[in-house]
Amino acid sequence: GAVVSQHPSWVICKSGTSVKIECRSLDFQATTMFWYRQFPKQSLMLMATSNEGSKATYEQGVEKDKFLINHASLTLSTLTVTSAHPEDSSFYICSAKVPSNQPQHFGDGTRLSIL
Amino acid sequence: KNEVEQSPQNLTAQEGEFITINCSYSVGISALHWLQQHPGGGIVSLFMLSSGKKKHGRLIATINIQEKHSSLHITASHPRDSAVYICAVGWWGKLTFGTGTRLTIIP
């Protein structure tokens, strides 16, 4: 079946660093991918919708200049956390939307820790 | 009030028991999803449904659109079913998530 690969799975870095997370659809083309964030003991929250070839759509309260999303091809979307700070430490997960009435496919997530 | 409410928040049961997790929502949806999240964080889609009932192995999901309510059932539960089960409602792909139900099955 369809698989979504997310990389890296775990990142620890210093405050002020920028971190890039990749989300790839391995055996299908995904015109739309979604980026979510999950803080400890909280629900997943949609951050943004990534559309191939166009600008991402951000949810209210998510800073587009801080969380840069690029969806340059039908199989790859990237999320870059710029100048990360400890409060950005979270679990980030992507999903890819497949055509018509099929469930989204999720990546395995990236656990980001900013020191 | 959250748009998606799940109950119970935590559930511990003996192996073999029949499990029911409930989800109520308050917004319009195009589909409802049941997801399984394991300790490492990875998420697996179990069901996507917009009406009626679906069955996959020991898992059954039902939805009542009029009552805005869905249930996930697990028959003959097994320790490997231990995970967080998340209900999410979707509007053409954009999902809103419940807080999850942490299920622990004791051997």
Cα three-residue angle A28-B35-A12, rounded to 5 degrees: 80
Mean pLDDT of chain A: 90
What percent of chain A has pLDDT above 70? 96
For position A1, what pLDDT does the model report? 54
Interface contact B96, partner A, CB < 8 A: yes
Backbone dihedral angles phi then psi of residue A69, each to the nearest 5 degrees = -120, 130
Contact state of A44 with B44 under an 8 Å Cβ cutoff = no
What whole-number distance in Å separates Cα of residue B49 and Cα of residue B62?
8
What whole-number distance in Å separates Cα of residue B30 and Cα of residue B8?
24
Partner residue facing B42 (CB), from A34, A43, A109: A109
Contact state of B95 with A44 under an 8 Å Cβ cutoff = yes
What whole-number distance in Å separates Cα of residue A65 and Cα of residue A60?
13
Q: Could you report the per-residue pLDDT of A39-81, keeping only the tens digit for each?
A: 988 889 999 998 888 889 999 999 999 999 998 888 999 999 9
Q: Could you report the per-residue pLDDT of B58-98, keeping only the tens digit for each?
A: 999 999 999 999 999 999 999 999 999 999 998 777 889 99
Average pLDDT (B54-60) is 97
Contact state of A106 with B45 under an 8 Å Cβ cutoff = yes
For position B10, what pLDDT does the model report? 97
Provide the number of CB pairs (under 8 Å) joining chain A to chain B. 55
For position B104, what pLDDT does the model report? 97
Average pLDDT (A89-113) is 87
Structure tokens at A65: 């200049």
**Residues 47 through 76 of chain B touching chain A, CB cutoff 8 Å:** 47-48, 50
